[in-house]
Structures are given as C-alpha cells and as structure tokens.
Amino acid sequence: MEVRRLFKKVRPGKIPAVFYLLAIFLLYCGLDLSASRTDILSPVGKPAPPAAESAVAEPAAQGEKSEDPYDIWIDLTQSTLYLFENNRLIKKYPVAQGKSGTPSPVGTWYITSKARHWGTGFGTRWMGLNVPWGIYGIHGTNKPGSVGYRASHGCFRMRNRDVEELYGIVPFQTRVVVYGGPYGNMGSSFVRLEPGDRMSQVVEVQLRLQKLGYYKGSIDGIYGEGLKAALLKFKKDRNMPLSHYVDTETYQALGILAFE
C-alpha cells in the first residue's frame, strides 16, 4: 500500500527520475559484488592458490649445502679420477697420487677452495680439500710424466688440460671420495704413530677404537689427547705394554692387517 501511495503522489513528469535513482542504486550494488568476487579470483578467473603454495621460494637455512649433481671418486688402486653427474659417469682422468711415505688421504672430502695458478709446481688450477690434518688438493702439474704413478706428497696431480676442464665443471662443496689402494687408510705401509701425527693412518686407528667404544672424539686424522687416552685404556684392558705409540703389535690388536 505504501508503494502505491508513493507512485500516486509522484507527478507523471517525475517518474523517470525515480527510475534513474533505482537504476543507479542497482548498478552500484552490482559493481560492489563484482569487486568482492575479483578479490578472490586470479586474473584468468581461477581461484588463487593459498598463501602456503606461493611460488616465491623460501631462502635456504644458513649453513645448508645446496644440491650438487656432481661427485668425484678417486680410485687409488687404479690412479684414476672419475667424475659423475647425477650418478652417471661423464669423465675419467688419470692422476698421480701420494708416494708410500706420503700417502693420499683416504676418506670423503669436499672442495673448499679453488684457485688459478695457485703456486709453483701446482700447474694451472688448484682445488683444495677439507682434510683436517694437512693441505691436500687436486691440481695441475709441471711434471705431466708423473701422472698415473705414486709420485706426489699426497695431493692428486692431473695434466693441466684435464684439471682446467674439471675446474670449469665442478663447483665449491663438490664431494670427493678417495678409496682403494693396497692398505686402505694405511697407505702403503704400517707407520708407527705417536701423539701429534696427522695422517690417514690415524683415521683408521680412530675408527677402530671408536667401534670398540674407546674413542669418543672426532674422526679427524689428528693424534691428540683424546686418542692418546683411548689408546692407553685399550692397551691396559688387554694387558699390553703401556705406551703412546701405535706399533705393529697395536695394529694387530686393533685388527688392522695388511690387505684386509
């Protein structure tokens, strides 16, 4: 009834203005609804992904090693370096390794430095390894005839053209696995060890004493106070002569035998 009275009071000439006001009101409501729908749609009209599925990548945690497709394996038995990409062999190179008195470090290491023309006698490229008991690396040489033999002080020599190629492929933190040889970590002979020694042979003794529950320290190839105490306790428990030396009798008691 109220609507009918309203239209009765409006003169015929004023009716169009009422319709204009009503049309503007409906148009405004329609635009507001459209805007609210646009807020939850992507530009192509599909639902926007939740915030958790954003394409923006979060930064890696500090100290994390990024994924690297390359691995280096050095076989001391064959004096050969193998380069793998995503577990597929892509290159192999001959290398010179350590002599009997200065064996190359057996173990798993990482490339922690790279340099061009690092020093006299190291060829055109240097890739340093994180061996804790000394300075070891993969490098070139000014004596290419030594490649393929036990001729270095523990480093891995490559022909300059080969090391330049490898240097250009592998990044920092590439894993380097060194294995093989007739005595594993023992190099080519049983060296008598004493406190202060830093070498692969110490690693093997640390590993054996750790497996037997005596050594609790780091496997770092350094004969320090922790290894000294562990060795003394091991000898005492077996009624062996007490000394800080790792000699032939100690090697045998630890189960470290030639060609094991």
Q: What tokens appear for 33 in the block?
A: 């609804």
Q: State residue 121's pLDDT score.
A: 85
- Between 242 and 48, the higher pLDDT residue: 242
Q: Tens digit of pLDDT for each residue in 92-145?
A: 999 999 988 888 988 889 999 999 998 888 999 999 999 988 899 999 999 999
The confidence score (pLDDT) of residue 125 equals: 96
Annotated active-site residue 155? The verdict is: yes
Across the chain, mean pLDDT equals: 77
At 221 the pLDDT is 87
Domains of the chain: 1-55 (no CATH), 70-181 (2.40.440.10), 185-253 (1.10.101.10)
What is the predicted pLDDT for the residue at 8?
45
Single out the catalytic residue among 29, 117, 139, 153. 139
Split at pLDDT 50, 70, 90, the class of 41 is very low
How confident is the model at residue 100, as a pLDDT?
80
Residue 220 has pLDDT above 50, yes or no: yes
- Average of per-residue pLDDT across 147-151: 92
Query: Which pLDDT belongs to residue 187?
Result: 54
Pairing of strands 80-85, 88-94: antiparallel
Q: Kindly list the distances between the CA atom of residue 225 and the CA atoms of 186, 196, 229, in Å, as whole numbers in the listed order.
A: 21, 9, 6
166 has a pLDDT exceeding 90: yes
Q: Which of 29, 117, 153, 155 is catalytic?
A: 155
Q: Is 29 among the catalytic positions? A: no
